[in-house]
Each structure stands twice: as structure tokens, then as C-alpha cells.
Amino acid sequence: MPYFGSEDAVKELKRSLANPNIQADRLRYRNVILKVIRFMTQGVDVSSVFMELVKASATVDIVQKKLVYLYMCTYAALKPDLALLAINTLCKDCSDPNPMVRGLALRSMCSLRMPGIQEYIQQPILSGLQDKASYVRRVAVLGCAKMHAQQSDLELDGALVNELYSMLRDKDPIVMVNCLRALEEMLKREGGVVINRPIAHHLLNRMVDLDQWGQSEVLTFLLRYKPRNEEEVFDILNLLDPFLKSSHPSVVMGATKLFLILATDFPHVQTDVLVRVKGPLLSACTSESRELCFTALCHVREILHSMPGHFNGHYKKFFCSYAEPHYIKYQKMNILCELVNDENVQQILEELKVYCTDVSEELAQAAIFAIGSIARTYNEKCVDILTGLLELQHEHITSAVIQTFRDLVWLSPQCATAVCEALPGCEDTIQDNEGKQALVWLLGMHGENISSAPYVLEDFVENVKMETSPAVKMELLTALVRLFISRPAECQDTLGRLLQFSIEEETNMAVRDRGLFYYRLLLSGIEEVKRVLCNPKSDPSLGVLEDQPDRPVNSWARDFNTLVPVYGKERWAALTAHRRPALELVGPSGDTPEAGCMASEEDKGIEKLEADPEKLTLVTDVQIDPEHFENNWATLEVACRKSVNWRSGDNLDAIQAALQVVNIYTIARSKSGTTPWKAYLYAEDNRECMFLMELLHETQTDNIQITVKQSKGSKAALKSFVPLVETVIRTVSGLKS
């Protein structure tokens, strides 16, 4: 018998498929096809039996059809000529009396990745959109998106888009959701599906008919709709209220985000919503799904930035369990540090103390650093715990404690006495560079209060030739010079030997330069040394950074239920920088207006960006100083972002000269030939609306990216300003406007 996956095994399958006796027995024939599928899913090349399986597609057995169509969808791209032989069977099945067969055939036709398939699938898709069976309509709607993806370079069919918009009122809720997904994919270049007032209210009224995933999808699309007045806002919030109690975390998070955005002008409503979703969030934080748990913890931290005491009564929910992965434990420890108050500080510190002896060195050190952050408020209790950990004499624990002590005495000078008493004897345990640097810094800065400090530093100097870290050597130089000021008799000889080694034998130039600097500084006199090195030993004002004012909910509401809390705003912006939309308009409250729909304007509420010269008059001789420009640029929100084609090789500096002709002035720009090229410009209209603009030449796409901010949220002025800039750039580049 041939072994699995060999050529002989595939040949035997081919003979079995062609055997009339096996073909006559439906069960045996199906089992042979099952073997083919099993080989295919396990990576065996079974493309040689394509012809036999094309013949097998002509059957009334729906199970056999599913298997054959799965095979054909996989190998159609490799055998396009043979796949065309199955088109007739698929087209015939698209009109089969059985709706399951019709849907299966249509789905398979749309999944055939082969050239020329569009002309065969267009008519079956259009027929499927009108099919009586909801299953066929579901498949046909998604087939529209697949057909568009295969011919994305062709012009979008407006009639098809209008048909999909009309099908949003289909009686089957899944068809409705599929229409939203298909329109979003097809209208991606135009900004996605438009959600106007009739559509938004229709979706809200159909929410109860949807499954949980459909509800999550609809809630995401509803973020695009901006209610017209306060009464409509509260009508929508009343309809959304039941979904805050959903058992599905995705629905709860989607409804919460929509609440937060719609209630932008009602902070008390936002607070009430966050109180109500406390229970679902805590449940998600204890979920068996590690991904869901981690995401929920990231969102809890986001909420704590605005409501510091929101989860104080549930701090035990954030205690770590043994089986949890480290990334979840890290998040929980960070949350515990933010939940500390006078009532729970003892319990939280006892819990963190347990983590300090974890088998994972990284986790143990993270727990020690967490105790150190709490120590800035509760000094005595934390220092006692950290001092007790030194008695364990574990290298990684001692190193982390010493690093924590270094940061603590800098921010909380009242801890310096207790820290100095705990330091003697630690030098024998520390081996890593970070721990050595921290210990040497403490000995140099507070050595006058530590009797053994000169002798510990002397041991470091004796072994300096074996030290591999330049950072430790430079810290040792600084520490000895500082200690020499307060204890010269004990440090003079040691400092001389270290300076001699650093200047004459050290190969690292940074260490050598540091040694030369201190040598010349000492030659200038002890008073000069004191003036340079006797700087403050602590800076309690830096602790203010730990007590930043609470951020308003509106500052992160749009990032809620996204990956921004997971990655962080800056990192997520870097990851998604290449996916910027061609045009993004942002309203005064952060809403994105509808755009890019080919349906009727009256029904869909299209908002196009077209110039209206009568609405914009830019004034001449506008003056603005760089500091004022920089401050406004940092505080104003982006009102519009658009990319304009630029002909490679043209002079970029000509843009600012051309814009000055239409009263748009340059305040700063890159030199010619600089990569990337940037320019910052400004203008003001006759209604005292100031426009600030950044032009960025994207070398990869050879486009000019326009970013506009405005002092007044006037959409009418913006709709005239942006096309004006675009026209000037295209004219300079020689492109047609």
C-alpha cells in the first residue's frame, strides 16, 4: 500500500475516482473525495485529479457538491482552463430549486480566483440579490464585494451600489449586515458606507433582530452618524441602553463607545455609562480568553486616567493568579498601583510582595518596581518591604531593589536615611550592569552617610579592568569625584588610580573623555568641582509627573474599543501611518461626516467637498509669529487630510511661491532636496478664520499630503480652502485639475 502523500497514493485516488463501480456507490465515491480533501488540507498536491472532480460536481448529492466546490476554489487559480469546464455546472446550480444548492454554487463561483470569471458571475449575483431565499441573498451581497475586489481597477457600478443601499431594508437581518460590509468594502476609496438619519434609525430599530456579531458590526457603523439635536441624541441613547447589559463583551464595548461619543456634551451621561459597564469590564478581566482579558485590562487603565477611583472597590479582581501569562500580570500590577489608597494599601503591598519572589525574574523585578512607584506616596511601608527583600540575597531581586532605591531617594528625599542604612552588604550580590550603576550612584550621591562607601567603590576600582560596561565605568568616575569632595582622605588614592586607568589604559573613548574632563576639573580647584558636581541630591518636583490631572473622557472616547489602548496612541499611529484615507474631514466634535456614496443625495445625505469661491476670500498681508503658529498647531485638531498626486522631479519649492499668489503664506519649509520635504503655511479668510497647513512630500507614493487645521470649525470655508490648495499644487506639477 502506498504511503500517505506519495505520488502513488494520489494516482490511486485518481483511479478510484474514475472507477465506474465506485462512482455508482454514492457513499464510496464520497469517501474517496473526502480523502482528496484530506490530502489537500494537509499540504499534498492533488491538482492532478482536477478533471475527475470537475466531473464529480455534476451530482445531486449536496455533501459531495460542497467537497468538490471546496477543492475547485483551492485549485482554480492553478488550473484556470480546466476550471472553466465547471462553470456550466455552477451556473446551472445557481438556478437549482434547492436554495442551499443555489447559495453554495454562487458562493463557489465568487471564490474562484481566476481571470475572466467576472463575466460569468455578474448575472448570477444580480439574480441572487432578488432571490426569495435569504441564504442566497446573503451570499449574493457578499459576492458583490468579491466581484468588486477582483476588478477594483474598473469603475464602480452605481446601480449596484444603489441596489445594496436599498437592500439595507431587507427583512433578513443578516442580509442587512452583509450589505453594510459589502458597501464598506466597495466604497473604501470614497470613505466607506454613508450612514444618514433614515439609515441610522433603521439600523437602531433592527438591532434586536441581529445576533451578537451583527450588533457589534452595526454599532461600529453608527459611529459615523451625528445626531442633529439634543432630543435625537437622547432618543438614540434610549435605544442603545439595553445593549449595555449584553452578555457579549463586543456588544457592550461597542455600545459604550457609541454612548461616550454621542454624549460628548454631557459629561454626567458619560460618567454614568462608565459606571454601568464596570461589571461587564470586570467580567472580561477575568475571562478565560487571554486576549479578551488583556484588552479589557488595557481599557480599564484608559478609564482610570479619567476616573482614578473608579475600580477602587474591586481591587482584588486585579490580583494575579498563578496560571496567567506574564503580559496579563504586568497589566494587573500597573492597575493595582493606580488603585492604591489609604484603605487598601496594606493588602495591595502584601500581594505585590508575593510576586517579588516569583520564579520569573522579569515578573519579580516588575513587582519590585511597582512597589517602588507606590513608595512615592507610602514611603515607610514600602521601604520596609524592599529592605526585607534584600535579605533574600537573590541577584535579580537585589538589583531591582537598588534601582528602586535610586529612583525613590531622588523623588522622595525623606527616604534617604532608611535607604542608606539598607545598602551595606548589597555589593556582593549585584552582578548586572543596571544594578551596579544604581548602587554606584547611591554611594556617590549619599556616600557621606554610608561609612563603607569609599571602600565599596575601591573594590569596584580594583576590578575595573574586568568591567565590560562603559556606563558603569563612567558612573564610577562621577561617584568617586563626588565622594572625594566630602571624604577626600579616604578617596584620594582610589580616585587617582581610577583617573590614571581611564586616561592611559581605557579603550572606550566616552570613558576616556569623562576621565579627562574630571582630571582637568580637579586641576581648576575644589571650589570649581563643587560648583559643577554639587548639584541637588533629589528633585521632588518630578513626582508631579506621576500626579497628572485627570484626562477628560472626550480625549480618549474615540480610541475606546480599538487597538489604541492596547498598543498606545503613538505606536498605533506609527503602525497605521501607511493606511491614511485619501480624505478625512473631522468636525468640531471629532465626528467624521458622510462621504463617498453613489446613491442619491436626498436619500443618503451625501456631503461632497467642492469649492465655492463665493464663500472664501483670503486676506492679504497676514502676519503670525512662529511661536503662535506652533502653539496653535499643537492644540488644534486636524480638520482635513488629503493626498494630491505630484509629478516626480518637479521643484517642490515652487509650491510655496504659487500659494503665496493666492494669499497662503509660508512660515517654515525644508531645504530643497531634503527627504522628507515639509512646509508649514498659514492663511486667514475675511471672517477671521485662520488656516494652518502642513505639506508633506511622501517619497514612497510621490504624493503631496495636505494636513489642514482651522481656528474656527467652519465646514463651508474648509470646503473652499482645500480644493484651492489642491488646484494650486496640481497646476505647479503640470497635472490636470
Confidence of residue 649 (pLDDT cuts 50, 70, 90): low
Confidence of residue 254 (pLDDT cuts 50, 70, 90): very high
Q: State CA 652 to chain mean position distance.
A: 33
pLDDT tens per residue, range 28-77 = 888 888 888 888 888 888 888 888 887 888 788 888 888 888 888 888 77
Q: CB atoms < 10 A from the CB of 346, how many?
A: 12
- What proportions of the chain, in percent to the nearest 5, are helix, strand and coil? 65, 5, 30
Closest listed residue to residue 217, CA positions, set 245, 165, 253, 242: 253
Instruction: Report the distance separating Cα 298 and Cα 312, nearest Å.
Output: 16
* Higher-confidence position of 111 and 244: 244
Over pLDDT 70: what percentage of the chain? 90
Q: CB atoms < 10 A from the CB of 116, how many?
A: 10
Which of helix, strand or coil describes residue 494?
A: helix
Sheet arrangement for strand 640-645: 583-585, 640-645, 703-710, 690-698, 678-684, 665-669
Locate all alpha helices (DSSP H) within 340-378, ordered by sequence.
Answer: 345-355, 361-375
Sorted by sequence, the CB contacts under 8 Å of residue 325 that are 6+ apart come out as: 290
0.85 cut: is pTM over it? no
pLDDT at residue 612 above 60?
A: no
pLDDT tens per residue, range 365-398 = 999 999 999 998 888 899 999 999 999 889 999 9
Half-sphere exposure of 157 (CA within 13 A, CB side): 13
pLDDT tens per residue, range 256-289 = 999 999 999 899 999 999 999 999 999 999 999 9
Closest listed residue to residue 224, CA positions, set 258, 190, 195: 195
Closest listed residue to residue 484, CA positions, set 521, 512, 516: 521
Half-sphere exposure of 93 (CA within 13 A, CB side): 26
Can you give the length of the chain in residues? 737
